[in-house]
Homo-oligomer: A and B are copies of this chain.
Amino acid sequence: MTIKVYELCGADRKNLFSPHCWKTRLSLAHKGLDYEVVPTPFTDIPKIEGGATKTVPLIRDGERLVSDSFDIAVYLDAAYPDRPALFDGAASQAMTRFIINWSQMNLHVIAMRIALLDIYKALDPADVSYFRESREARIGMTMEDFMANKAASPEELKAALAPLGATLKDQPYLGGETPMFADYVVFGPLQWLRMVSGEKVLPEEGPVAEWFARLLDMYAGIGRNVPVAA
């Protein structure tokens, strides 16, 4: 049965840039499961599946609804144990939580400081005022002031990625010889940046760039073949 996956979209419904949704998209591809993407603007999220979730990704798999990319990965491993695993035991699942928090507190924060206005420009018209209000409440200033005062450089992103780069000198993926959910966790914010701000803000060479390129090409290039900002 085809799994339905609700993903955030921009004004262009093919512009599915959410980092969290990418974690789930690659999880589904990793497990070789059929899926159908339902592009969803921010302001439509409360309406989907009878108000089942405040955030996407949300998947419907038969009767089951699961949100949150980590919970979805845990669900997929439990529901499809014969398919390639996203986690390899309880400790790898526990350590993935650390990698999620590290990514969120470092990469996502910097990505926002690079891409906030680019995201804003890519939004569905229906989302524009919701996004401005919710983000400006969070940052305590206008988005324009935030970017004038707090903008991050690609060099800051590169510095934040240093522990990943050091790790990828010893092994091809965060998960070891093959990618695991932890790899998709970190892929998410980089693909987000690539789609909304363009490849120019990402590391151009070195272990992280090579790892990212490998992930873009996996699963028939579902990561590679998307609209990319200039």
List, in ascending order, chain B residues with CB within 8 A of A104's CB.
163, 166
Min CB distance A49 to B, Å, is 26
Given the contacts A90-B88, A91-B88, A95-B96, A101 and B166 also touching, CB distance less than 8 Å: yes
List, in ascending order, chain B residues with CB within 8 A of A180's CB.
91, 94-95
Tell whether, in the assembled complex, residue A94 and residue B163 are in contact, meaning their CB atoms are under 8 Å apart.
no
**Does A82 lie at the interface of the complex (its beta carbon under 8 Å from any beta carbon of B)?**
no
Number of copies of chain A assembled together: 2
Given the contacts A88-B89, A89-B89, A90-B88, A95 and B163 also touching, CB distance less than 8 Å: no
Chain A contact-residue range equals 20 to 34
**Does A55 lie at the interface of the complex (its beta carbon under 8 Å from any beta carbon of B)?**
no
List, in ascending order, chain B residues with CB within 8 A of A171's CB.
94, 97
List, in ascending order, chain B residues with CB within 8 A of A98's CB.
99, 163-164, 167, 174, 182
**Does A230 lie at the interface of the complex (its beta carbon under 8 Å from any beta carbon of B)?**
no
Tell whether, in the assembled complex, residue B101 and residue A175 are in contact, meaning their CB atoms are under 8 Å apart.
no
Distance of A208 Cα from B171 Cα, bound (Å):
29
Tell whether, in the assembled complex, residue A90 and residue B163 are in contact, meaning their CB atoms are under 8 Å apart.
no
List, in ascending order, chain B residues with CB within 8 A of A91's CB.
87-89, 92, 175-176, 180, 182
Chain A contacts with B in 152-187, Cβ cutoff 8 A: 162-164, 166-167, 170-171, 173-177, 180, 182
Which of B90, B95, B164, B175 interacts with A177 by CB under 8 Å?
A: B90
| CB nearest neighbor in B for A87 | B91
Q: What are 10 A-B contacts defined by CB distance under 8 Å?
A: A91-B92, A91-B180, A92-B92, A95-B96, A97-B171, A98-B163, A101-B162, A101-B163, A105-B162, A105-B163
**Which A residues fall within an 8 A CB radius of B?**
87-99, 101-102, 104-106, 162-164, 166-167, 170-171, 173-177, 180, 182
